Amino acid sequence: MSSTIERTDVVIVGAGFTGLSAALELKRAGIDFLVLEARDRVGGRAEARPNGLGELIDSGGQFLCQDMPELMALAKARGKTFVETYIEGEFITHPWMSAEEAERTYQVAMAIRERMNRIEPDDASIAGLTVATWLERQKDTADAKAAFRSMIEGLWCLALDKVPLWYLIDNDRRITNEVFELQYFLRETMQSLADDLAGDLAGRLRLGEAATRIERGPRGVRVISARGVIEARSALLALPPATAAKLDFAPALPAELAKALSVWESGSVIKILVRYASPFWRERDLCGMVMWRDQAGLFACDASTDADHAALIVFVGGPLALRWHPLDETALRAEVTARLVEALGPQAADILDFSARDWTHDRWSGGAYSDLIVDVTARDAERTILAGAPPVYIAASEVSPSFPGYVEGAIVAGRIAAGKIQSAIATSASGS
């Protein structure tokens, strides 16, 4: 290891939207900082890659809606082009149901979700219950329960028997959009927005530099990477909780905080963009949205940028992603193509390009879209993480007061954390 020692006010570990948002707040406040990012790019779980046709596509977080005020404002301020997700026409459920039956099943599944959210998270009657156990006790039809399971495993990307009921209620209540959450995506990709933010950091961002050890001392922190040592007044770990837990801390974190970081598990998702010559489903008055009732967590939607760039995104979430994770690309393509043909007909096999990004067990984020608490007793985990162990602070979309697990939540979490650090530095300056 190099013996170089650098000094700054704040070291931010992680250049996803949480870290970038925090950095820009500190910059506005005139506080010196450095951002270390282990990957060779910014954006975290928002990522863009070229597909086999040379088109830049969102291989990570992509969608936004008008009820996400911070992200919408940011995308507008940076001159991004909003593409409205195509939703005209019939929604397919597979195995097939009539449109009326599908609508009724969907409405009952949503009613189950609303009924769940009417329970208070601290209601003693649900202590120790997982979402799966609670769902078994409901009196709804098997079809409606299956649709609810598919919806929840598709959105949260973990098996329902792992997720505490109180946690899902608390989490879901903070996701407050009233319009379709897949309302828009950005023609330039979501990662391009992260790139724009990074461009404003003027040499204070280092890519390909993973922090490995965080040392806390009486005069601040030392953040150690392969490149050397950075001494700072404070550190912000802008990382998913399960990723933050893997860092080496000296001295060890307080037991309560270490426990709070240990109770999270990353979701599993495979995101696939399937390109076609034309949006053939629209000719049959289909919107391109498909929910598979026999494969919980499998969902497709239209992601065409225009009629000449026809595409479906297929999301594989939760236990199904874990089952398909070992498949090579040929086998995965065969599985997905077979499902699309079943639901949309033989034209679904005429694929121009098939691009898959498997986020399961991702080296730097652990998975996607989010980490979830999997310990039914860990009621104070989020509160403990937000308190941190100053001068070490922790922030992530997962612990955001709004839209946890979304880019919107990451932006909010980063700004809140920067505000805390700013206050601490101001207090320390006035006390010295």
Task: Give the pLDDT confidence of 282-310 residue by residue, as tens digits.
Answer: 999 999 999 998 899 999 999 999 989 99
Question: Closest by alpha carbon to 26, among 429, 428, 419?
Answer: 419
Kindly report the backbone phi and psi dihedral angles of residue 243, in degrees, each rounded to the nearest multiple of 5, phi listed first. -75, -45
- The per-residue b/e assignment along 124-154, b for 16 or more CB within 10 angstroms, e otherwise, is eebeebbbeebbeeeebeebbbbbbbbbbbb
- Is 315 flagged in the annotation as binding? yes
Pairing of strands 269-276, 286-292: unpaired
- Is 18 flagged in the annotation as binding? yes
pLDDT at 3: 61
pLDDT 10s digits, 321-353: 999 999 999 999 999 999 999 999 999 999 999
Q: ∠ at Cα 57 (320, 298), nearest 5°?
A: 20
What residues does each domain of the chain span? Answer: 5-51+188-264+373-431, 88-179+268-358
Burial class (CB in 10 A: 0-12, 13-18, 19+), 76: exposed
Is 377 within 8 Å of 301 (Cβ atoms)?
A: no
Is 353 within 8 Å of 53 (Cβ atoms)?
A: yes
Kindly tell me the sign of the dihedral angle through the C-alpha atoms of 52, 343, 58, 44.
negative
**Rounded to an integer, what is the distance from CA 127 to the centroid of its chain?**
27
To the nearest whole number, what is the mean pLDDT of the chain? 96
Is 23 within 8 Å of 37 (Cβ atoms)?
A: no
Is the pLDDT at 51 greater than 60? The verdict is yes
pLDDT 10s digits, 131-185: 999 999 999 999 999 999 999 999 999 999 999 999 999 999 999 999 999 999 9
Cα–Cα distances in angstroms (integers) from residue 362 to residues 127, 149, 265, 311, in the given order:
32, 24, 12, 25
More confident residue, 210 or 307: 210
Cα–Cα distances in angstroms (integers) from residue 410 to residues 18, 33, 128, 399, in the given order:
5, 19, 29, 9
**CATH topology (fold) of 88-179+268-358:** Polyamine Oxidase; Chain A, domain 2 (3.90.660)
Cα Rg of the chain (Å, integer): 22
- Is 37 flagged in the annotation as binding? yes
Is the pLDDT at 86 greater than 60? The verdict is yes
pLDDT at 4: 79
Tokens representing residue 385 in the block:
């993480």
CATH annotation of 5-51+188-264+373-431: 3.50.50.60
Peptide bond into 391 cis (omega under 30): yes
Cα–Cα distances in angstroms (integers) from residue 379 to residues 19, 113, 240, 373, in the given order:
26, 21, 18, 9
Give the CA dihedral 72, 78, 83, 84, nearest 10 degrees: 20
CA-based diameter of the chain, in Å?
A: 73
Q: 2 falls in which pLDDT band (50, 70, 90)?
A: very low
Residue 22 to residue 8: CA distance in whole angstroms: 15
Question: Closest by alpha carbon to 375, among 206, 187, 162, 225?
Answer: 162
Is the pLDDT at 1 greater than 60? The verdict is no
Kindly tell me the sign of the dihedral angle through the C-alpha atoms of 12, 195, 68, 408.
negative
Is the pLDDT at 116 greater than 50? The verdict is yes
For the chain, give the percent of residues with pLDDT over 90: 91
pLDDT at 432: 55
More confident residue, 218 or 423: 423
pLDDT 10s digits, 144-153: 999 999 999 9
E strands in 77-152: 82-84, 90-94
How many residues in the chain? 432
Element (H, E) at 409: helix 407-431
Pairing of strands 310-317, 56-58: unpaired
Q: ∠ at Cα 49 (43, 54), nearest 5°?
A: 150
